[in-house]
Chain A
Amino acid sequence: MFALAGMNGLVIGAIYALAALGVSLVVGIMNVINFAHGELYILAGYFSYLFANAFGMNFALAMTLAVALVFLFGLLIEYTLIRPTYGNDMYSLILTFILSIVLQNAYLLIFGPYPNKPPNWVGGSTLILGSFYYGNQRLAALIAGSAVITLVFLVIKKTWFGRIIRATSQDREMAELNGVNTKRLNMLSFGLGCALAAAAGVILAPIFPVTPTAGVPVALTAFVVVVLGGMGSLWGCVIGGLIIGLVENFGAAYISTAYKQVFSFIILILVLLSRPSGLFGRREA
């Protein structure tokens, strides 16, 4: 029981971290929270389901295509909805919230209220530590999640593009003075944030089938992770994601399954009370 809950916590935690990275990237650069993050996560799940089941594509191809499409959709959202609201954070909150409800209802019309599930990548299960069998699909999700997180870290810490991102999130005006086209960077980073949500979506969809409103709890948890880790901190997302994933699963295993969402909310309140800037957050001036 203990090891199983721990293992589940790791898998979910990695996915939470991935979803939170997308939120954190956008917050760090644009100071915008995308409330439709969960709906984009679900959109990628639907795309991969559609491509793999209806068009009979290979699952890897379907996933890549799904993430790419959501990336493009993210660019479109930034261009049409977010760009006109620069400097007014409140309006972007309102617009993305309306967008999330619109998307939920559109999914409901198109796909119906029933859960849809893309095919598993692998079958069978593996004996872990000689104590319990664990589904290979979940293990694959853990590996894929960790791989994407590593990729994000490499891009941000090691490449020229990553340097631009870090510079802009540290001091926007200074970056502009040094010739960074922050408008284009905003668009690109918003798209990337959506693509990270999409990556989380395609990885998790075979385990937790997608429904029109299944994105809400994932997005909420991603937000909690971002606050817990500290707004704009990448390591905060990873550590925070793992903490929330583990707490939820141990809580579900030992206290109550129905209330597993509530545990992360309690953590959020404790963080806000004791250390509002989060575990790794910069102290706001």
Chain B
Amino acid sequence: MTDRRFFVILFVAVGLLSLLPLGLGVYHLHVMIVSLFYVMMASSWNLLAGYTGQVSFAHAAFAGIGAYTSGILAAKFGLNPWIGVFIGTILAALIGLGMGILCLRMGGIYLSLTTLGFSEILRIVITNEYEITRGTMGLQVPGLVADYSKPAYFYIMLGGAMLTLIVLYKLIYSDIGLNFRAVQNDERAAASLGVDVVRMRVLAFTVSSALAGMAGGLYGHYLLLITPEIPSLDQQFLVLSMTVIGGMGSFLGPIIGAISLEIFSEYIRAYGEYHVLVFGLVALVVARFAPNGLMGLAEHRLRGRRKASRTVSAAAG
């Protein structure tokens, strides 16, 4: 995909989406806002899992860091939420950098274990430090706009998602992105050609953590109540499933996965407690039988059809 084509598609899509508040009611707008949050989360997680082959289980935790940093600064110290979101993003990036340096020398499994541990520790700290975080009761925070309105938040989240996608695109389709994929495909070959493997991984981890921090900060100020649900493993599971079902390692996959699964989960919410279970089973089946997700399936069909038409034309010729 060329730069120009990407930006044309992005701006057309954003333009069309920004018409939505004219036609949608409050509830549907809410679903779209949540979807956009997951677009940010899944796309930035995809940078790790899909492009550099690192499975982090702390992505939701980084969103939590962004949300709680900004929320605490705003609720306790009266800081402007926008500045809070910015600080939360920076803090998530710094912690991501530290964690990346700590365990990325060791290779994949260590990162997965450490991030899983980190996210569990964060949950324990947030639940226990009741006086600062209000524990499971949730922390009430001010909104990003003076007069609460769904359309305003929809545009804010749309802006956030657009920013996230541009950053990811610029990174993935640059020389650095080429290095990312080289590292994922064959670490040793990449290293032998002069790619600094550890540095590439740490870079991807830091950027992805920062983007999660920003998404969490914006989302927290939309919900107005920040609970340990944001950095929970359940949330991590949703982000992971969306990426896997949409298609890991493809740019469009997580976007499609996030929007379609958020809408799907709103439909099956009617069945109450079953909805996480159903979601999990779907994710399990897709991950097992179609490891490249919906995008992989689509590409497969497309390629199959092209090949078929080529054979037909060859036979005709």
Contacts and interface: CB of A to CB of B under 8 A. Distances in A.
Given A98-B283, A262-B125, A276 B113 contact: no
Contacts of A94: 49, 55, 240, 244, 287
Q: Describe B's contact surface by its main secondary structure.
A: helix
A35 interface: yes
Given A90-B55, A276-B105, A223 B280 contact: no
B171 interface: no
Interface residues of A, number: 40
Interface in B102-156: 102-103, 105-110, 112-114, 116-118, 120-121, 124-125, 128
B64 interface: no
B70 interface: no
Interface stretch (A66-74, A197-205, A239-247, A266-274): A266-274
B114 A97 contact: no
Contact of B124 (A109, A262, A272): A262
Contact of B284 (A31, A95, A217): A95
B62 interface: no
A252 interface: no
Contacts of B299: none
Interface stretch (B18-26, B271-279, B305-313): B271-279
Interface in B45-76: 49, 53, 55, 57
Contact of B113 (A84, A89, A216, A227): A227
A90 B240 contact: no
Contacts of B237: 97-98, 101
A272 B103 contact: yes
Given A95-B287, A101-B234, A262-B125, A33 B273 contact: no
A258 B277 CA distance: 30
B183 interface: no
A58 B117 CA distance: 37
Contacts of A93: 55, 108-109, 112
Interface string B27-45: 0000000000000000000
Contact of A90 (B53, B120, B125, B274): B53
A273 B105 CA distance: 10
A258 to B, nearest CB: 5
A99 interface: yes
Nearest to B128: A258
B240 A97 contact: yes
B288 interface: yes
- Which residue of A35, A90, A231 has the most chain B CB atoms within 10 A of its CB atom? A90
Contacts of B244: 94, 98
A102 interface: yes
A151 interface: no
Nearest to A269: B102
Chain B contact patch, size range: 35 or more
B45 to A, nearest CB: 11
Contacts of A217: 120
A216 B106 CA distance: 23
B128 A99 contact: no
A223 B116 contact: yes
B295 interface: no
Given A90-B55, A105-B276, A258-B128, A265 B118 contact: yes
B117 A91 contact: no
A259 B124 contact: yes
B280 A101 contact: yes
A280 B134 CA distance: 42
Given A101-B237, A109-B273, A33 B106 contact: no
Given A90-B49, A91-B287, A98-B280, A108 B113 contact: no
Nearest to B238: A101
A102 B280 contact: yes
* Residue from A80, A231, A269 with most neighbouring chain B CB atoms (10 Å): A269
Interface string A209-221: 0000000110010
Interface string A171-190: 00000000000000000000
Interface string B224-247: 000000000110010011001000
Nearest to A213: B233
Contacts of B296: none
Contact of A102 (B120, B281, B288): B281
Given A33-B109, A272-B103, 5 more contacts: A89-B109, A98-B284, A101-B234, A262-B124, A265-B121
19 contacts: A33-B112, A35-B116, A80-B288, A81-B288, A94-B55, A94-B287, A95-B284, A98-B283, A98-B284, A98-B287, A101-B280, A102-B277, A108-B273, A223-B116, A231-B109, A262-B125, A272-B102, A272-B106, A272-B110
